[in-house]
Amino acid sequence: MLRSVGQRTVAESSGDPRVAELRAAVSRLRRQLAAHPGEFPDRAIAEDELAALAGMAAAGVPEPRRLRRSLLLVASSIGSVSALAVPLAGVRGAVELFGGPLLPE
């Protein structure tokens, strides 16, 4: 979709800004992961959890506990792929906007 500078879609201009940030961060990491030429054992897990995060963001305000679980799975499956560190940090920052418990109950 092409847009003029400063023009936003209805979904971006209304609603919770945390959800918009999560959606953007997940999208960036998904693009970077898709473009990454190397294979690693748990790539499918990372792709599945990123799809789950995107689904949660599309459905509205997600549950912080579920977000943190998905983030943990993505981070552990990507491992030490340094090329994905910056977009992964973006997803982490977006998840942290939702607060919630830091430790599992």
CATH of residue 84: 1.20.1440
pLDDT the model gives residue 60: 87
102 inside domain: no
CA 22 from chain centre, in angstroms, equals: 6
50 inside domain: yes
Q: Does position 13 have pLDDT exceeding 50, yes or no?
A: no
What would the pLDDT profile of 18-75 be if each residue is shown by its tens digit? 999 999 999 999 999 999 998 888 999 999 999 999 999 999 889 999 999 999 999 9
Domain of residue 37: give its range: 16-96
R_g (Cα) of the chain, nearest Å: 14
What Cα–Cα distance (Å) separates residue 34 from each residue in 7, 12, 30, 71, 84? 27, 24, 6, 18, 11
Q: Report the C-alpha gap between 79 and 15 in whole angstroms.
A: 33
Domain count, the chain: 1
